[in-house]
Amino acid sequence: MRTQSLDALERGLGYRFRNRGRLERALTHSSFAHELRAEVRDDNERLEFLGDALLGFLVSDWLFQVRPDFSEGELSTLKSVLVSAANLRRYGDALSLGDHLRLGKGEEKTGGREKPALVVNAFEAVLAAVYLDGGLDAASGVARRLFGDQVREIASGRWRVSNFKSALQELLQSTGRGAARYRLVEKSGPGHEPRFTVEVSIDGEPGALGTGATKKQAEQSAARVALENLRAKGPCSA
């Protein structure tokens, strides 16, 4: 990997590594490590595990600090959007992480540099590498620079989740699950004041019920409850 390439990535991160080997490992896909036939795999999978947990903590801490008026459910929903694969892909692309990845020949031929999952995994691994290299303050500083606009908008009240259906779908996609399905269960009340009840199903299993004055409002309500339920069950379920 060219030094100038790493220089550009460090500038994008706003952090210079003391041990660049950590950064190189964060950018090393398992396919590359397998081709080296090393006894100890030197890929980014363990770093990805650490980075995922680290990012969840940092985002939770920011939201807790900047929005003391939000309920646990609102905080959980915002967190699910900020750490979703779709959101992390945006930042990974901004850093051109796909271009920096070390891939095996097979993965290279199948377009690995453009695969969202590989970019997201590398993003989490790089954050973990910063943490190991410079500590929690360094990792927090990098993440705050990258997520700064979103965090500031949340703090000012200009940015909050209103489309819970989109937030739920992003969370499901980030965990490799299928699309949520919505079904009208009941329409009640007089014609001038109807009440709709909608059920959302996830992977064919009933997820949550929501009600509203319109079908769309009921779907949003069901998605919000489903999001809160998934976050309450923990990372294995969400």
58: which 2 tokens? 């940092």
Q: Of 78 and 137, which is predicted with more confidence?
A: 137
Percentage of the residues of the chain whose pLDDT score is greater than 70 = 90
Q: What is the largest CA-CA distance in the chain?
A: 71
Of the candidates 43, 48, 124, 219, the residue annotated as catalytic is 124
Whether the predicted pLDDT of 2 surpasses 50: no
Averaged pLDDT of the chain: 85
Alpha helices in the chain (DSSP H): 3-13, 20-26, 30-36, 45-66, 72-82, 85-94, 97-100, 105-109, 116-134, 136-156, 164-174, 215-233
Say yes or no: do domains 3-156 and 164-233 share a fold. no
Can 42 be counted among the known catalytic residues? no
Instruction: Tell the CATH topology of 164-233.
Output: Double Stranded RNA Binding Domain (3.30.160)
CA distances from 179 to 161, 163, 202, 210, 224 (A): 19, 15, 7, 17, 15
Whether the predicted pLDDT of 237 surpasses 70: no
Instruction: Tell the CATH topology of 3-156.
Output: Ribonuclease iii, N-terminal Endonuclease Domain; Chain A (1.10.1520)
Residue 199 binned pLDDT confidence (cut-offs 50, 70, 90)? very high
Tell me the per-residue pLDDT of 200-232, one tens digit each, with 9 for 90 and over: 998 888 778 888 888 888 888 888 888 877 766
Of the candidates 43, 48, 52, 170, the residue annotated as catalytic is 52
Q: What letters, b where the CB count within 10 A reaches 16 and e where it falls short, cover 34-46? A: eeeeeeeebbbee
For residue 198, give the 3-state DSSP assignment: strand
Tell me the per-residue pLDDT of 99-141, one tens digit each, with 9 for 90 and over: 999 988 888 888 888 888 899 999 999 999 999 999 999 999 9
Can 124 be counted among the known catalytic residues? yes
Whether the predicted pLDDT of 234 surpasses 70: no
Tell me the per-residue pLDDT of 136-156, one tens digit each, with 9 for 90 and over: 999 999 999 999 888 888 888
Q: What letters, b where the CB count within 10 A reaches 16 and e where it falls short, cover 122-131? A: bbbbbbbbbb
* pTM confidence score: 0.70
Domain boundaries, the chain: 3-156, 164-233
Whether the predicted pLDDT of 39 surpasses 50: no
